[in-house]
A and B are shown apart, each in its own frame.
Chain A
Amino acid sequence: MLDKELRSMIGDVKGGRMDRRAFIQRLAAVGLTAPLANQILALGGVAMAEGVQTYKPTKRGGGGALKLLWWQGPTLLNPHFATGTKDQDGSRLFYEPLACWDPDGNMKLVLAAEIPSVQNGLLAADGTSVTWKLKPGVKWHDGNPFSADDVVFTWEYVKDPATATVTIATYRDLKVEKIDDLTVKITFAQPTPFWADAFVGAGAGQILPKHLFAEYIGSKSREAPANLAPVGTGPYKFVEFKPGDLIRGVINPDYHMANRPYFDTIEMKGGGDAVSAARAVIQTGEYDFGWNIQVEDDVLLRLEKGGKGKTIYAVGGDTEFIALNFTDPNVEVDGERSSMKTKHPLFSDPAVRKALSMLVDRESIKKAIYGRAGRTTANFLNGPEKFVSKNTTWEFSIEKASKLLDDAGWKAGADGIREKDGKRLKLLYQTSINGPRQKTQAIVKQACQKAGIDVELKSVVASVFFSSDVANPDTYPKFYADLEMFQIPLSQPDPSQHMRRYLSTSVATKENKWQGTNFPRWVNKDYDAAINAADKEMDPIKRAALYIKCNDLLWEETVFIPAMHRLKVEAAANTLRPVISGWANETDNIFDWYREE
């Protein structure tokens, strides 16, 4: 039904009977707005709209200095070597992609002249190729012209395994050809519904100048002088870089966008911690913008009282979740625990999993920990809107959980801990060391205790928990615990990579050195079939339905208990007008930042 309605609405937009804004509003009503709503239109034959312009200044420059505070300073300025978003953020001041994402998930043109669509013939209707037209007259900071050669070169550079880039996965399975000086064509190995990954956004999309990197492709990549002194096309020209400490730039007077940028100089300072960064922006006003202010809400509220700045929030799709282990972490089989040859002794009873999900008090977690930076949710997949399921619910009820366990035969023993057939409800719950996470653990443990489940808490240093160290038993892929909690950022406005992780073919095992992405070790044929179908599905509505189905499967089976839908938190001076998208790096829209006088 939804399907039919949507189709007729797309027809209305095409025929001019309904305007784009009304269309998006209608979609919002049925839970289908944001980034991919626009891609629905693109694939339905209506061109993707460019994001709304919010930029007010009428001349270039004159804005003085822009002082940014990144409490983890960038350590290198080649975006394709980035070990974290901080490095992408720093590089993005100088380098640019073809397009980026605005706060609503709309595409914004940067180096491209036109948004590809089926209508303008740039997007193949079967999703096997996309053609990008480049803006004419763009110059690198050193005066050389920017052309299709640079785009093709970036692809060649990144996909060479010897270059050792971290963005290789985006580029290795596609082909990039130069059609003419200002046109490139990307051909995908198979129909690709989400075609806006390569060359888009700060994460993987930043384009390098061929004339400076051509000699340093492959194993010599580390020696390129431009790794530390970027020459880009961006709004600011590079001046100085001290890894981990400071990046400085000055205005690019030949920038290709009218009246931009607003600021004359830019400075990105690194080091310190999030709380003092919040203080330097909100309370003393020493800096204009503070990145990733993961600080307790009451601290922020206190700082904001009569301060010089405020916090700002951006909605993306990051979900803090508790994963359940479907294998037995306490039994060793062929030198590995949590082996696929075992079954979890307690979680193999669905009632235990269901009861557990009723014992996570999301409202309290929001109130006590995340405050304005969180939203409660029943879903594992929380964005883009189009993919968010409306079929799920959550509730917190110790009584109902207890009843569920009683009915399933888990009776309280002498010490109050429930047991059945000699198996006691004792769980090990691990996460990385991080203030909010330890508090969440405590809230969950308390509720579980009341319901007769004994929970042991464990916290692992983040650098260990998230490492790929094969020798360490405490990493999250090994999952030598019953429950574990963290989040996996959704770094692009599309769920495909995110949801593919839990295919039954990707289980983390000793055999693949725990590189498999399916750490809950949950195996479900329906899920596999839906994901594989979605990967090839070009009809955006059917595709969204498939991902919603996957999310609902994860919910029904209680593979993950979502603890919080987290928002991005930043601090900004009251006068600064930053443009922050939950779907992109903080600096992805830096060319549109200005100060209200």
Chain B
Amino acid sequence: MSERDPLFSKKNLKLISDPINNSNPITVQVLGICSALAVTAQLKPAVVMSLSVIAVLALANVIISLLRNTIPNRIRIIVQLVIIAALVILVDQILKAFVYDVSKELSVFVGLIITNCILMGRIEAFALGNKPWQSFLDGIGNGAGYGAILIIIAFFRELLGSGSVYGFKIVPDSWYITNGGFYSNNGMMILPPMALITVGIIIWVQRSRNSKLIED
């Protein structure tokens, strides 16, 4: 990429759009599945988790990219980890200070962003060899790709499992069997196995619509 590339050239925009669909970290590269199962029982934690991962991934990519010509090769993994860990602690502290309820709900999973394979993967594969701006876009793109899947899963799990969306009741109270209605929430949806099945369905839908992903 030449220095004179406009900031939002086609090539650069592709860095954002690609990971959202064609090379989605969850559905195509199958990275970061663990946290996708854990924090998607409701939309709110899923949204906060997505934003946290986008922030950490974009910042880590930029920092590593800025340092890429100075990092001693033999300790580069450790340097990457130190940067990621520091950013994750920052996010955790900020959540604790300003959205304490959510931070309690996410509990250990914020800390586990450190071990989210998407981060190390993008830093090793992209940020170490590219300029800061491209790395930033790549981070935003991959974070958004991860977040999009998380939010889709959480939407269905919360709707079918708790009858609400982002905490707002969608299914009227009078529908419930306990109130003389015909409806009851699907308890399976709030358990991790259904998250895995939801991921599977998303992969199925995506592959049947995207010809680039169809294998022979």
A binds B: no
Chain A residues close to B by CB (< 8 Å): none
Chain B residues close to A by CB (< 8 Å): none
